[in-house]
Amino acid sequence: MSFFGFGQSVEVEILLNDAESRKRAEHKTEDGKKEKYFLFYDGETVSGKVSLALKNPNKRLEHQGIKIEFIGQIELYYDRGNHHEFVSLVKDLARPGEISQSQAFDFEFTHVEKPYESYTGQNVKLRYFLRATISRRLNDVVKEMDIVVHTLSTYPELNSSIKMEVGIEDCLHIEFEYNKSKYHLKDVIVGKIYFLLVRIKIKHMEIDIIKRETTGTGPNVYHENDTIAKYEIMDGAPVRGESIPIRLFLAGYELTPTMRDINKKFSVRYYLNLVLIDEEERRYFKQQEVVLWRKGDIVRKSMSHQAAIASQRFEGTTSLGEEGEESLSRRLCYTTSE
């Protein structure tokens, strides 16, 4: 980034010490594109250099101080004027004075707390970034560099299967079972559906993975439902006593860990939606929440505390009914398409 004034101009660059060896991760931007960023975990040190390159070798650069910040912030798209910072660290690199030649300043943020996963959604963005600032009387020179943070979890101690018996009286009676209630992002959902009573003509059945993003609080709550995947279970009419297996691989879909009440600003939850369609195009459905978590390739010892906290954060599930949606515990929800 350059500052063009009556005197000196300068290019600012932020360089990480371990840039050559550090892993990069793809992350979606606001415009839906994917870009690669340096990947960090909770508790890792962030260190590097701020490089200043003067454009005019015969002129000095006057400044009111040079600093670098490490910031974690949440931005709600409907309230873009306010950035909610949950991490804010500052290192002063130089006192007010003059710079006569290009130079670099070392910095280190030791064992930085990064409690939440980076996230870009429909109505909210959680980002971490480094920001170098050269304070000037007229205009500050600012350079930012985003990084991505992943939160790692251990295997949940309690991971019971999901078993439900649902139906419409004298019309339809089915049981469905999923092998677990908590899945890591590369996991496989395995289950079965049993038809105990079938008196309506079903022609199609599928399972959808639905992501539900909730932002705001109180009367200013916004819900965004996004269908991540559609998995066809059956195309044709089932008969009484039939059993249909389910095997859904999660690795091929864009999923994040479940996020609950992140900094009291937003939540991201996932649901398995069982959908049946009869010959008259009427839809019957039942939703069940599942918890998603990120499993590290190699979980480092230094991350064990963070992983334990993340595992506790993901304990338990809630139904859609807790968030004001129509919910049926032992009945299928029935709607007629227009």
Q: Which helix (H) or strand (E) holds 210?
A: strand 202-215
Could you count the other beta carbons within 10 Å of the beta carbon of residue 238?
A: 21
Contact 193, 178 (CB under 8 A): no
**pLDDT for the residue 311:** 43
90 has pLDDT over 80: yes
Contacts of 144 (CB under 8 A, 6+ apart): 129, 130, 131, 132
* Whole-angstrom distance, CA of residue 64 vs CA of residue 97: 6
Q: Work out the mean pLDDT of the chain and round it to a whole number.
A: 83
**pLDDT for the residue 7:** 60
Q: Which long-range contacts link 216-220 to residues 24+ away (Cβ below 8 Å)?
A: 216/76, 216/78, 216/266, 217/264
Instruction: Write out pLDDT tens, residues 20-75.
Output: 999 999 998 888 889 999 999 999 999 999 999 988 877 888 899 999 999 999 99
Q: Which helix (H) or strand (E) holds 313?
A: helix 304-313
Percent of the chain clearing pLDDT 70 (strictly above): 85
105 has pLDDT over 50: yes
**pLDDT for the residue 176:** 86
5 has pLDDT over 60: no
Average pLDDT (232-257) is 86
* Whole-angstrom distance, CA of residue 39 vs CA of residue 70: 15
Query: Which tokens sit at 112?
Result: 């930085």
Contact 66, 50 (CB under 8 A): yes
**pLDDT for the residue 66:** 95
**25-39, 173-187, 277-291: which has the minimum mean pLDDT?**
277-291
Q: Is residue 137 very low, low, confident or very high in pLDDT (cuts 50, 70, 90)?
A: confident
Average pLDDT (284-288) is 86
C-alpha closest to that of 189 among 151, 159, 157:
159
**pLDDT for the residue 291:** 94
**5-14, 81-90, 120-129, 177-186: which has the minimum mean pLDDT?**
5-14
* Whole-angstrom distance, CA of residue 119 vs CA of residue 72: 11
**pLDDT for the residue 320:** 36
pTM: 0.80
303 has pLDDT over 80: no
Query: Which tokens sit at 129?
Result: 């970034």
Quickly tell me which residue has 């289950």 as its tokens.
191
